[in-house]
Chain A
């Protein structure tokens, strides 16, 4: 459905305000990501909506259009709205999100809980969500669900501050979204704190997730896992950067993807270790399966190390299904299709191989690839 010309220009007008500070392709190191194509759409300005009554169980925050429409929080968690204060940033996208949406601050103290975050855009509109999480002496899991229907554009900017022996787990679910999603997360992890990020992007049309983690205190760790499944013509972009700013810290990155005909997957992963940050352990791995000859995968795991006492590894593999494994399973009497699905299943589940991620293991073995020829 075409919007009228006035509405069609709304987003590009907003974008123009930030044009000078917008990241360009060179800044971002993307090979295949096309920001112009993302903005080139017929999006309406979102309407302001009154607070919606709660229809959900458990603790949650529900963002819709450019605002928080309802919430229910556990003891120890409190909300406040911040003024539209735009921090100096070279990233015009983030500036735009900060200025377009109301910024919510969620303070969490002495809390052990799971909080759902629903980030929703509606059809033919664009939405910006902006929130800061500050955790003290807490272990909190955020189950974040993105909803971006057809011809919607969802921007998200989230900061996480992990302090005083806190553990923060952010589990992103981006499933079967026909719209476009651009998500930026930044996390600062203080001493003896742990940050975990797991992103599941299954069969969504066009998604980009940028995650930057600053490890600021000793004995702090960060773990980022991502698993992307792309049907034909779907596009998924992961951009990660872990900064080891102090000694005795650890980080793990594991990003995997399975891609069908004409799908596009790009991983740009960085690890930076500062000169004085000795005794660092960092592991970074990107593994991709290409199910058809014409899918595109671009993978770039990178290390920038200025310290000398570090143990850092990085690697990347891209290929079709493991033929040796296929033969092995078939030689035990399992059918070819069944064997292929088993190998795929095993490949995907590796992304959940950590005690913090185990609860999020999908139960379906077929992962919706059953409708297509694997």
Chain B
């Protein structure tokens, strides 16, 4: 579904490689987790996949359902079915959350040749989603992420994910800043959205989110590339021994 082949990436305005030969294949219906220490390039990876123009692919490519999307902008990638849940969702005061969601939803409907939803019809869709995900309806009346707590922002990302129903979702440190209850709620929502037709790439520092969302494969990322992959037990081992242990082993 998503293939990343020997990807080298640098910041657009700096001559510094961040991803250095990163490769990954994400199959339909699977959950992959990427763990790694600070500065290993995890967040850069998520933004590059989503089409952030602050980064430049110098070599390698990203393929989505067989199509090379490396040169596509963020809009086109999203319309094809990619979704990034941001580590730090951006606050945009003045943009109503529900209206924004309707515009994003209709943009996708239009792209897929499906009928767009009027505000009334979309309200029904939204209320169904908020009920299913146990997200307060008052989220809808507020401005996009504006004044939201850290936990609320992450839950709002999951609501967007639920509305847009992407085929590949990248969750960039969705667990960071969440207390135990919020982590549980967010994880349950993600588990509800998982199905055999979509895939999830969970980027995290910690093993704890993987207690709730079971990954099929865990990858360890260091210095811009994957250095080890294995079953979910790899995350538990990493949690017990730490990244330093791995660094020593590798060296």
Taking Cβ atoms with an 8 Å cutoff, the residues of A that contact B are: 322-325, 327-336, 338-339, 342-343, 345-350, 353
Asked if A336 and B92 make an inter-chain contact with CB atoms under 8 angstroms apart, the answer reads no
Cross-chain contact of A332 among B47, B53, B94, B164 (Cβ < 8 A)? B164
Contacts of A335 in B (CB 8 A): 75, 107
Asked if B75 and A342 make an inter-chain contact with CB atoms under 8 angstroms apart, the answer reads no
Nearest chain-A residue to B109 (Cβ)? A333
Per-residue CB contact flags for chain B residues 2-35 toward chain A (1 = under 8 Å, else 0) read: 0000000000000000000000000000000000
Nearest chain-A residue to B53 (Cβ)? A327
Asked if A333 and B79 make an inter-chain contact with CB atoms under 8 angstroms apart, the answer reads yes
Contacts of B107 in A (CB 8 A): 332-335
Asked if B90 and A328 make an inter-chain contact with CB atoms under 8 angstroms apart, the answer reads yes
Q: Top 8 closest A-B pairs, CB basis? A: A346-B94, A330-B74, A333-B78, A332-B104, A328-B90, A333-B107, A349-B94, A331-B74
Per-residue CB contact flags for chain B residues 128-149 toward chain A (1 = under 8 Å, else 0) read: 0000000000000001000000
Cross-chain contact of A331 among B78, B92, B111 (Cβ < 8 A)? B78
Decide: A333 near B94, CB < 8 A? Known: A327-B52, A328-B89: no
Decide: A333 near B90, CB < 8 A? Known: A342-B95, A346-B95: no
Contacts of B164 in A (CB 8 A): 332-333
Asked if A333 and B95 make an inter-chain contact with CB atoms under 8 angstroms apart, the answer reads no
Whether B93 is near chain A, meaning CB under 8 Å from some CB there, is yes
Contacts of B92 in A (CB 8 A): 325, 328-329, 342-343, 346
Contacts of A322 in B (CB 8 A): 90
Contacts of A347 in B (CB 8 A): 94
Shortest Cβ distance from residue B108 to the other chain A in the assembled complex, whole angstroms: 5
Contacts of A330 in B (CB 8 A): 51, 73-75, 78
Shortest Cβ distance from residue B229 to the other chain A in the assembled complex, whole angstroms: 27
Per-residue CB contact flags for chain B residues 102-132 toward chain A (1 = under 8 Å, else 0) read: 0110011001000000000000000000000
Asked if B50 and A345 make an inter-chain contact with CB atoms under 8 angstroms apart, the answer reads no
Asked if A325 and B90 make an inter-chain contact with CB atoms under 8 angstroms apart, the answer reads yes
Decide: A331 near B94, CB < 8 A? Known: A336-B73, A336-B75: no
Contacts of B198 in A (CB 8 A): none
Shortest Cβ distance from residue A198 to the other chain B in the assembled complex, whole angstroms: 16
Asked if B94 and A345 make an inter-chain contact with CB atoms under 8 angstroms apart, the answer reads yes
**11 residue pairs bridging A and B, Cβ less than 8 Å apart:** A323-B54, A325-B90, A327-B47, A331-B83, A334-B107, A335-B107, A338-B103, A342-B103, A345-B94, A345-B95, A350-B94
Nearest chain-B residue to A342 (Cβ)? B95
Shortest Cβ distance from residue A52 to the other chain B in the assembled complex, whole angstroms: 41
Contacts of B50 in A (CB 8 A): 327, 331
**Interfacial residues of chain B within 192-247, with CB under 8 A of chain A in the complex:** none
Asked if B160 and A332 make an inter-chain contact with CB atoms under 8 angstroms apart, the answer reads yes
Nearest chain-A residue to B80 (Cβ)? A333
